[in-house]
Amino acid sequence: MQISITVPTKAQIINGGFSIAISAHGTEWLKGQLGDYADRSGVYIIHSNGKILYIGKTTQGDYGTFGERLRRHCQEKASRNSQLFQSLLAQKTPVRAYLLDLSDLDMMIDQGPMTLSPVRKALIMEQALIGIYEPPENRADAASG
């Protein structure tokens, strides 16, 4: 069996997406800043100053939308002041997010004769992107620090 994946280039990621607010203590983070993307699910990439910082997926459950996951990363209270939040807050240039929603993944992953659910496709893409771009906030030592 063979699965083929079309992975976006770093240039496509860095030049795509949109700016997102990082909300420190006492400031509000608004899901509406994400526009039509707020209620979508898929694989997301957070980047700043030409560097990919974090790659995640959102597919199901209570935090199954892009808006809810970003709020948990970008709002101090919701993030519980996590290391990822601190890293995003420390960025000197705007933080941006790039989303590959589940319909994008359908076009980017050729599953051959197998049947893969949207959740499995998101997992495959997330892991491929982490392996290729090695974002610092996805490292095991970053997560435990």
Q: What whole-number distance in Å separates Cα of residue 44 and Cα of residue 129?
A: 10
Instruction: State the pLDDT at residue 145.
Output: 45
Question: In this model, does residue 88 exceed pLDDT 60?
Answer: yes
Instruction: State the pLDDT at residue 140.
Output: 64
Helix, strand, coil shares of the chain as percentages rounded to 5?
A: 45, 20, 35
Number of other residues whose CB lies within 10 A of the CB of residue 79: 20
Number of other residues whose CB lies within 10 A of the CB of residue 141: 7
Domains of the chain: 4-144 (3.40.1440.10)
Q: What whole-number distance in Å separates Cα of residue 69 and Cα of residue 58?
A: 7
Q: Which two tokens stand for residue 33?
A: 């800043």
The average pLDDT across 69-76 equals: 92
